[in-house]
Structure 1
């Protein structure tokens, strides 16, 4: 219960921070869509930022700004991912996707605005008084989210849909390391950067966590409940898309996720006992039901 309480508290704090930051925008459709897209969700990336920063006793206010920034990038990526030119989804978190509730132009602009807001947040002196630290946060976030990170992963995913040959396990691992893993890695890095600490153990943790997270997602796509997920499931199988589950099988994929989580937890031993919540987070990633 302690982990769930910590997660619930963090979700509320991050939502409060996002609401505060987004209050500066008006009541036009794009601003409303930005607020709409940043409500709800697991807040896993934000939680990783908060808990990584907590390892080094970073002030909560600074950590919350970094947490809000990664949630803005994540929300932007989901808005664009749901568009007809991408995955063409009607539901996200149990609600109409942004382009369904408004229109495609508003969705594109809201995503663009959230992406740029993330960089505005981390570049602001309120996030850290040292300009060099802020510059490193901006640089690494751009690297994680951009053409060599998440965007590249999404491009590879789209290309795989029309490729003549199905992706290999190695290719899927690399695709997901970019598309999903980089935005799980950055908040762990950011927590250390805020403290001037070495991020290497946290990056090792995040690398294992990211692959386990995607395997768990693939399992949920096969076994999950659409109502709990708040989005359409079974789309990968219907499209004949290669996934960890399609290549490994259900039980071997589950075993691989469990192995990765144990490896992720080993990376945290250097922080014991302060790393216990991050270890619990790793276990949550493969046991969540949505």
Structure 2
């Protein structure tokens, strides 16, 4: 694997990723309530949380999986936009809530004050609460077959609920100061971080009407890159500085949280991330050249430095 595989056709991967990030920012800008719409302060906080930058990896995974599954039509592209926006809304809400004093009590996110610092704690809570139903509203309104929209809603609901992201966060909070086995740590991170990344891939396939075989390949890919993302996050919490990370580094160790670095050591954690990246590559071999962007995203996730 290489970090930035050259594209056989079309723009380079860095250019493609920047284009997808700029595109979903425009989509979100249009779909979010305007800051001047009552209640203004709530809508200002929502826009602050969602439009404040970020790598937009989850949105990119939606687009890459969708394009790997079909040639695309205008309706499919519009549905991919809504699915990508929904994923980013759920991700943004999770960050707002994770940063609250009752959770991780963070003051910096994406290089800016966290939402509860910029506004206030109650507004931050409500902003997260409001982003969740908006995400499902976007999925329900996709210009696609009702059965596919229903599948998309179900996938996102499961990935973000007690058996996915929220459940993983609960396990994380309950694990402070405790030693977890490798299996327990993997379960926690597969739920907390991996579930939403895997859902991004699955949603792209659903919206594009992927075949059963393609869905299976995407699911296997999603599980691998979802866990790889968290392993690399654990590594960066130890190795990156605040300027590159955009949030407070070293908090996991300071809060005595179990991580892949604390369990395996830095070198073995890096090796495990590479193994997961290789598994992601192997999973999408049956999809051929159409999965090139997915392969590049796997490399980006494993080798990123922030």
Q: Could you say which residue in structure 1 is the equivalent of 2:101? A: 84
* Superposition deviation, residue 60 in structure 1: 2.1
Q: Could you say which residue in structure 2 is the equivalent of 1:209? A: 225
Tell me which of 262, 268, 274 is aligned to 2:284.
268
Q: Could you say which residue in structure 2 is the equivalent of 1:119? A: 136
CA contact (8 A) 1:123 1:135 kept: yes
Q: Could you say which residue in structure 1 is the equivalent of 2:274? A: 258
Tell me which of 246, 256, 265 is aligned to 1:240.
256
* Superposition deviation, residue 140 in structure 1: 1.2
Deviations 1:76-122 (A, max 9, x none): 00000000000000000000000000001100110011111000000
Tell me which of 82, 93, 105 is aligned to 2:110.
93
- Consecutive aligned runs of 4 or more in structure 1 exceeding 3 Å deviation: none
* Superposition deviation, residue 187 in structure 1: 1.4
- Tell me if 1:14 matches 2:10: no
Q: Could you say which residue in structure 1 is the equivalent of 2:154? A: 139
Report the Cα distance in structure 1 between the residues aligned to 2:19 and 2:291, rounded to whole angstroms: 18
Tell me the matched-pair count: 286
Q: Could you say which residue in structure 1 is the equivalent of 2:61? A: 48
Q: Secondary structure at the match of 1:147?
A: coil
Report the Cα distance in structure 2 between the residues aligned to 1:30 and 1:146, rounded to whole angstroms: 23
Report the Cα distance in structure 2 between the residues aligned to 1:121 and 1:209, rounded to whole angstroms: 25
- Which one has more relative contact order, counting CA pairs under 8 Å at least 6 apart? 2
Q: Could you say which residue in structure 2 is the equivalent of 1:34? A: 46
Q: Which moved more, 1:75-84 or 1:238-247?
A: 238-247
Q: Secondary structure at the match of 1:272?
A: helix
- Tell me if 1:65 matches 2:82: yes
Report the Cα distance in structure 2 between the residues aligned to 1:272 and 1:121, rounded to whole angstroms: 31
Q: Which structure 1 residue ranges, 5 or more long, are not aligned?
A: none
Deviations 1:222-262 (A, max 9, x none): 10111111110111112222210111111111011101101
* Superposition deviation, residue 200 in structure 1: 1.3
CA contact (8 A) 1:76 1:114 kept: yes
Q: Secondary structure at the match of 1:236?
A: helix
Q: Secondary structure at the match of 1:161?
A: coil
CA contact (8 A) 1:176 1:214 kept: yes
Report the Cα distance in structure 2 between the residues aligned to 1:226 and 1:169, rounded to whole angstroms: 28
CA contact (8 A) 1:128 1:194 kept: no
Report the Cα distance in structure 2 between the residues aligned to 1:261 and 1:79, rounded to whole angstroms: 28
Deviations 1:190-234 (A, max 9, x none): 111112223111110011111111111111011011111111011
Q: Could you say which residue in structure 1 is the equivalent of 2:235? A: 219
